[in-house]
Amino acid sequence: MKIHCLQHLKNETLGNIGTWVSLKGHSLTKTLLYEKPVFPEPEEFDMLLIMGGTMSVYQEKEFPWLRLEKEFVKKVIDTGKPVLGSCFGAQMIAEVMGGKVTRNRFKEIGWHRVKALAGENMDRGRGTISALPAGLFPEFTAFMWHGDTFEIPAGAVRLFKSEACPNQGFIYRGNIIGLQFHPEADRQWIRNLIEDSGHELVEGKFIQSEEEIYGHEGLFEDSNGLAVSLMDWFEKKCEKLK
């Protein structure tokens, strides 16, 4: 499978998802938005991944390339190709599909519990959460680093929530997924983010310290397992939709 990735910062890499891509033997190309952005034609790849970033989707004046990226993402969504966005990437998808992106009530940084909304999504067609990997039920822990939140786009199904953020994920027509959390977060990815944005680790109800973040050794392995489970499931689901 040919995968294309939109990467917004040098240090916000594919992390665990990049490991999955390599293990599966898929090819990978990238548009580096922090350099001169060059977007391929949708027919040149099979799946689009949209990674995180410290900017907000509504900061087009500060980041003029956002308008071009939104046009590209909409073009890809309109083709029906699989698209998965993480954090800023999910917010990008939501806005392109008509959902609002605003500041969340709380900043959420560190390892936090996420709940799957199985009961809420029963019998909702192809977007139902019942197809998600069994290992994700009923809760899991994921890494967060965000201050914004997205509105669930019209026609999409809400998948996840956390205590600090009601909208942690959605799926649309079985092939478009937005995740507020970071399944890609491995040790190096987190180290990079702390180096770049460690000033955000201030006292807050849902903000963990650097010591707390690094103190959960088993969660790094769990994060990799989460990424693999999600990507395996998404790949199989999209193959069935062809």
Query: Please, what sign has the CA dihedral across residues 212, 90, 114, 182?
Result: negative
Active-site residue 216, yes or no? no
For residue 3, which of 77, 69, 82, 63 has the smallest C-alpha distance? 82
Q: How far apart are CA 92 and CA 87, in angstroms?
A: 9
Of these residues, 146, 182, 235, 238, which one is catalytic? 182
The 3 state secondary structure assigned to the chain is CEEEEEECCCCCCCHHHHHHHHHHCCEEEEEECCCCCCCCCHHHCCEEEECCCCCCCCCCCCCCHHHHHHHHHHHHHHHCCCEEEECHHHHHHHHHCCCCEEEEEEEEEEEEEEEECCHHHCCCHHHCHHHCCHHHCCEEEEEEEEEEEECCCCCCEEEEECCCCCCCEEEECCCEEEECCECCCCHHHHHHHHHHHHHHCCCECCECCHHHHHCCHHHHHHHHHHHHHHHHHHHHHHHHHC
Of these residues, 12, 69, 108, 184, which one is catalytic? 184
Q: How far apart are CA 54 and CA 238, in angstroms?
A: 29
Of these residues, 5, 8, 87, 238, which one is catalytic? 87
Active-site residue 182, yes or no? yes
Mind telling me the catalytic residues? 87, 182, 184
